[in-house]
Amino acid sequence: MRCPVEVGNDAEVLVAYATGAMTPAEQEAFELHMAECSACREAASRQKAVWGALDAWRAPDVSADFDGRLQMRIAVHDRVSWWRRLEFSWKPAIPVGIACAALFGVFLLHGPALHTVAPAAPPAAVQSQQDAQKMDVEEVERALDDMDMLKQLDAPASTPAGSPEGS
């Protein structure tokens, strides 16, 4: 048997041993292990002592007037007004309400302004955008013109040298 302390299930094994819930084969294997392992032997003896003390403990008898006193306490509790019972339940909610009010106040002071409108773009910025678009169109036109000119220059060079052009 592997040591229950090393495996990590020592509490289960010790409780089963102390309460007599083990099978005879398991109990015999554990007792053989305890002969070699002092940690398990000590833990088992402590567990047996605890269970022995629990078996020896006797609950005190209920007093003769227990029922009458219980009924009286229930009647007193029922006579308390609902407002008094509600008063105690509101006490924990007060700090929560204060914290919510503080957060709401901070949001109002530092939150985004809902009534402001974004300013319109100044005319200078609009004009510069239009100028940029015009420059792009002009650059494209120049590039196309340059490509046409290169095509015209390339056409005579593509004919083989020494051959008549008209043949």
The model carries a pTM of 0.36
Q: How long a stretch of residues is the chain?
A: 167
Instruction: State residue 167's pLDDT score.
Output: 46
Question: pLDDT tens, position by position, for the chain (167 residues)?
Answer: 778 777 777 788 888 888 888 899 988 888 888 888 888 888 888 888 988 898 898 988 888 899 999 999 999 888 877 767 666 666 777 888 899 999 988 888 876 665 566 666 566 666 676 676 666 777 878 888 888 888 887 765 555 555 555 44
Residue 16 in tokens = 């089963």
Angle, CA of 125, 131 and 137, to the nearest 5°: 145
Residue with tokens 């919510």: 100
Q: Give the separation between CA 125 and CA 117, rounded to whole angstroms.
A: 19
Whole-number Cα distances in Å, 83 to 38, 79, 87: 63, 11, 6
Delimit the domains of the chain by residue range: 4-56
